[in-house]
Structure 1
Amino acid sequence: MTLLNGLASTDGRTGGSGETLAIRGGHPLRGRVDVKGAKNLVTKAMVAALLGESPSVLRDVPDISDVAVVRSLLEVHGVRVTRGDEEGTFVLDPADVASAHMEEIDAHAGASRIPILFCGPLLHQLGQAFIPDLGGCRIGDRPIDFHLDALRKFGAVVEKLPSGIRLSAPSGLHGASIHLPYPSVGATEQVLLTAVRAAGVTELRNAAIEPEIMDLIAVLQKMGAIISYEPNRVILIEGVDRLSGYDHRAIFDRNEAASWASAALATDGEIFVGGARQPEMLTFLNVVRKVGGDFDIREDGILFRRGGDLRAVTVETDVHPGFMTDWQQPLIIALTQAQGTSIVHETVYENRFGFTQALVKMGADIVVHPHGLQEGPRRVPRRNLEQAAVIHGPTPLRGADITVPDLRGGYSHVIAALTATGESTVRNVGIISRGYEKLFDKLTALGADFDILG
């Protein structure tokens, strides 16, 4: 099977969203996996190529379906995307950028939420943009109001239609003073991609400062942008008249690296994650150590394993430099095998514990508190939307018939099935291909015992 535009493996090892696995668990995962560029940077860097007046070269592009979606969206807008001189390299030529029909955009966007980030570049290039209804993982309300409010401050006219959102810039875009209510990654990316060619200076306060954001700033600076970062989450962007293409190697995917680390802890295995780096994973590595895991930092990656019996921990998700929300779901699988009571406070999304229902079915002792826990000390400010999961362990997991709900939860279900004794049937596995390159090949390399049922 293949994914969109032939971007995924053609060896039958990766497939569509309806794919089902039969997994026989209870065996440690051991071996090496390599991670490529971060999904959360690569897709945004591809959009940034729209702003250049010459071709861009992006390296270490992962073979995942989200990349295929963005490639398709770029191509319907006239950007020529070809493979470069090494594996995982794209050449993106925006010479023939043109507007696209709504039907084309809607068909190619699918469930992806990336089209919203096309707004700024398309307004600069064409003076207009259309964004269809947005999809994405069902992990809670992910409003785009931050995006639209920022675009309005740049001078964009926003018209909401039943089929989506139409934007125009009759007087062009100008610099603005923007203070985000929350350090949203997506809204920060929107401001960066819009401000670099807006007339004047843009000051962005309460910006997200994730490593992927810093890497996007590096991409834009290579293109000719003038961007500076000040303390307390303030980013200044001086608009320029023109930008050129870039040549950039993407930052590694720390979400995938953390996922494999949690798999090593959960299955009592040993996994070397090639391409992982210590600085971007500092917060995660601290939690690994607290929970009883061990790791070796090497020049070309990080080796993860248990350092003895796993211990209960309390984790609070937060924006960078806090513990990422994308890290908590795989970690919870490991926490089901930890001695004592662990608590995970989810403060970023309000509905990210739905995947635990399948874990309970498999034998885990997890109680979700839909309004969070009010008692106990906290370092991360409480939010109205937060939830908490209380995990009592260790509990043996047993095989079950489960269905993947979303990207990170789906990966976590696969790891839970590999941790459990007996056979599990895991359905809708193809959604995991949005963020994990060649998942089946990597599982095979680690000694996982599974069959693809179709």
Structure 2
Amino acid sequence: MPTIVVEGGHALSGNIRVRGAKNAVLKEMVAALLAPGRHRLTNVPRILDVDLMADVLRHTGCTVEFGDHELVTVVPDEVLPVTPIELVRKMRASIVALGPLLARCGEARIAMPGGDDLGARPIEWHLDGLERMGAEFELVHGELVGRVDGRLKGAEVELPFPSVGATENLLLAGVLAEGRTTVVNAAREPEICDLIDLLNAMGARITGAGTALVTIEGVESLHPVEHEVIPDRLEAGTYAVAAAITGGEVTVTDCHPAHLRMELRKLEDSGCEVERGEDWLRVGGPERPAAVDFATLPYPGFHTDMHPQMVAYLSVADGVSVITENLYDARFRYVGELARMGAEISVEGPHAVIRGVEQLQGCPVLATDIRAGAALVIAGLRAEGVTEVGDVTHIDRGYEDFARRLASLGAVVERRD
């Protein structure tokens, strides 16, 4: 089992560049299915989930080739509307292939998605919206089979919650539907806006990006384009927290600080010095952070995928912090691993109370998901002694060469395969 070994007690310093956003590039790769021809994405992170999604596309008949942080996909005139279970069970984002395959082929066979186990994340909202557009679904031997008679039909779909995945599937289905599709209570995330920019460049007619009301005027066909993937705000935030917990000073470049307003504000409240530019941010960490409270919410609220990193940081704060997780009911699975390192955290329902300790202790721990793995490495940066984080293939799904990039900032860290 691959591990990352961290020696604590070394302040981080220097500059680090952010790569393209995992939560944007995977959906933009799938968007290529909507139009035959040669598609090119730049600023593509070399992470495990991108490799998995490339294999999903290859299974449909596409050719996918990687360059230097770029990806070229050649989509054939006819694609196989099937995603295999051995790939889909590893990555939840594969469910967004449902919309474009239905729109392009009139049918789709998608194995039920896997990925990080963060509790109940139902796909009913995806299916309800697509059914309003004329699709029909049945579950056959663990495989979701969807069909539509002719073209999908535009419809008004009101989401009960601003679901990112459901919004993406409706966008990807609606662009080739007949008539107008309106998504009410749509997700507003920057990655959604970037997907809309890509689709509009391909010839789609979408308005309302960044608002709760998105309107899609269906078109007959789309065409391939070149597109630069938006920077990963979660990677930027992770390195900001890593700087903060070590009391170091790190400049994160090629990022959009405006996409981390709430997260950076909470770092400032804890005693960090934060400077922001148009495409960079600088974080100077305190000797010991002050306790702060936060609750995870859809954008522009505090991102649930920054929750574990922030909890690791607050585990050494002076005082008591209270956090509320409003999105994923199993997000706290990593807390037991932090407790092994000496953190004092009690969990009740969606709430966690963190009683800051002066010092964490290095020990063997296990990553339970992408962000939990990053959080444990971050905790190890501050801990006394050596921390060995196991099962770091989780981290590989969302971070490119995480150990080496931390080492470039002065961390004493190495990966052992």
Please classify the TM superposition score into its range, dividing by the shorter chain length: over 0.9
- For residue 394 of structure 1, report the CA deviation from its aligned partner: 3.6
Checking the alignment, whether the CA contact within 8 Å between 2:257 and 2:278 is kept in structure 1 is no
Q: Which structure 1 residue ranges, 5 or more long, are not aligned?
A: 1-17, 371-386
SS of aligned partner of 1:355: helix
Q: Is 2:185 the partner of 1:206?
A: yes
Q: Which residue of 2 aligns with 1:388?
A: 351
Structure 1 residue corresponding to 2:264, chosen from 285, 298, 306? 285
Which amino acid counterpart does residue 77 of structure 1 have in structure 2?
A: T
Question: Where does residue 239 of structure 1 map in the other structure?
Answer: 218
The farther-off stretch of 312-321 and 332-341 is 332-341
Indicate the residue corresponding to 2:239 in structure 1: 260
For normalisation by structure 2, the TM-score amounts to 0.96
Report how many aligned residue pairs link the two structures: 417
Q: 1:127 to 1:111 in 2, by over 3 A?
A: same
Q: What are the residue-to-residue correspondences of 1:329-344 with 2, within 5 Å?
A: 329-344=308-323
Alignment check: 8 A CA contact 2:234 2:306 kept: yes
Q: Residue 324 of structure 2: which of 333, 345, 353 is its match?
A: 345
Deviation at 1:440, TM superposition (A): 2.0
CA contact (8 A) 2:244 2:286 kept: no
Secondary structure at 1:55 match in 2: strand
Q: If the length of structure 1 is used for normalisation, what is the TM-score?
A: 0.88
Equivalent residue for 1:360, pick from 339, 353, 356: 339
Name the counterpart of 2:73. Answer: 92
In structure 1, the residue matched to 2:382 is 419
- 1:358 and 1:395 mapped to 2: Cα distance? 17
Structure 2: runs of 5 or more not aligned? none
Name which of structure 1's ranges 153-162 and 212-221 shifts more when overlaid on structure 2. 153-162
- The 8 Å contact of residues 79 and 96 in structure 1, kept in 2 or not, is answered as no
Identity %: 37
SS in structure 2 at match of 1:187: helix
The equivalent of 1:322 in structure 2 is 301
Q: 2:360 aligned with 1:397, yes or no? A: yes
Which residue in the other structure is 2:370 paired with? 407
Give distance in 2, aligned partners of 1:452 and 1:306.
25
For residue 448 of structure 1, what is the amino acid of its counterpart?
A: A
1:178 aligns with 2:157: yes
Aligned residue in 1 for 2:90: 111
Partners of 2:36 and 2:77 within 8 A in 1: no
Contact 1:127 1:168 in 2 (8 A): yes
Does structure 1 residue 140 correspond to structure 2 residue 119?
yes
Q: Which amino acid aligns with 1:429?
A: V
Amino acid at match of 1:444: A
Q: Is the contact made by 1:262 and 1:333 (CA closer than 8 Å) also made in structure 2?
A: no
Q: Which residue of 2 aligns with 1:150?
A: 129
Which residue in the other structure is 2:282 paired with? 303
RMSD of equivalent CA atoms: 1.7
Do the aligned partners of residues 88 and 231 (structure 1) sit closer, same or farther apart at CA in structure 2, a change above 3 Å counting? Answer: closer
Alignment match, 2:51: 68
Confirm or deny: 8 A CA contact 1:127 1:169 kept in the other structure.
yes
Question: Residues 60 and 82 of structure 2 are in contact (CA less than 8 Å); yes or no, is this contact kept in structure 1?
Answer: no
1:221 is displaced (CA, Å) by 0.6
In the alignment, is the contact (CA less than 8 A) between 1:293 and 1:308 conserved in 2? no
- 1:160 partner amino acid: L
Q: Deviations over 1:352-400 (max 9, x none)?
A: 1111111111111111112xxxxxxxxxxxxxxxx11111124310011
- Which residue of structure 1 aligns with residue 27 of structure 2? 44
Amino acid corresponding to residue 143 of structure 1 in structure 2: P
Question: Structure 2 CA distance, aligned partners of 1:231 and 1:365?
Answer: 38
Letter in 2 for 1:343: V
Over 3 Å counting, the alpha-carbon distance change for 1:21 and 1:82 in structure 2 is: closer
Aligned to 2:396: 433
What does residue 447 of structure 1 align with? 410
CA distance in structure 1 between the aligned counterparts of 2:81 and 2:194, rounded to whole angstroms: 29
Instruction: Please give the alpha-carbon distance, in whole angstroms, between the structure 2 residues aligned to 1:44 and 1:101.
Output: 16
Q: State the 1:181 CA deviation.
A: 0.7
Instruction: Tell me: CA distance 1:160–1:449, structure 2 relative to 1, closer, same or farther (3 Å).
Output: same
